[in-house]
């Protein structure tokens, strides 16, 4: 499958601009591809810091709301060099809807880009097979 990378990166970067990050000022956007559709999310912080939800999980929630249950690709956009990877909680959330081969593409400032798979980022994900 040829990924619509420009579409995904554009959606992730636009989402990052919508982030609610008044505490960290760390704006992150994410876009997931599911069944040909792109779903985006941004980080949403809270004055009670522990309630903050990352961009990746918000993008997954948008995809699930639209009926998706299988992810085909993920793009995470930040303004860092090197680009920011998903946190552990988000990796586990991605593992619920993506295989170890799921492409996870990280884009940062000044053209920085890293292409990985979910399996590389979370090689021993917890799954229903352990239940």
User: How far is it, in rounded angstroms, from Cα 44 to Cα 24?
Assistant: 11
Which residues are CB-contacts of 115 (< 8 A; sequence separation ≥ 6)? 103, 104, 105, 106
Q: Which of 54, 60, 62, 121 touches Zn ion (CB under 5 A)?
A: 54
Tokens of 50: 């522990």
User: Is residue 56 among the annotated active site residues?
Assistant: yes
Q: Which of 56, 96, 115, 120 is catalytic?
A: 56
CA separation for the pair 101, 48 (Å, rounded): 35
Q: Can you tell me which of 9, 90, 105, 118 binds Zn ion, judged by CB under 5 A? A: 90
Among the listed ranges 2-10, 27-35, 82-90, 111-119, the one in contact with Zn ion (CB under 5 A) is 82-90
88 near Zn ion, rule: CB under 5 A: no
Active site residues: 56
Residues that bind Zn ion (CB under 5 A): 54, 87, 90
């Amino acid at each position: 499958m040829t990924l619509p990378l420009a579409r995904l990166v554009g959606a992730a970067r636009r989402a990052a601009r919508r982030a609610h990050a008044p505490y960290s000022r760390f704006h992150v956007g994410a876009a997931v591809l599911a069944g040909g559709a792109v779903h985006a999310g941004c980080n949403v912080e809270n004055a009670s810091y522990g309630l903050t939800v990352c961009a990746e999980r918000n993008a997954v929630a948008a995809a699930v709301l639209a009926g998706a249950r299988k992810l085909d690709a993920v793009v995470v956009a930040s303004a860092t060099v090197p680009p920011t990877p998903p946190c552990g909680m988000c990796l586990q959330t991605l593992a619920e809807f993506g295989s170890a081969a799921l492409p996870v593409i990280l884009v940062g400032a000044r053209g920085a880009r890293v292409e990985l798979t979910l399996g590389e980022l979370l090689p021993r994900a917890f799954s229903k097979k352990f239940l």
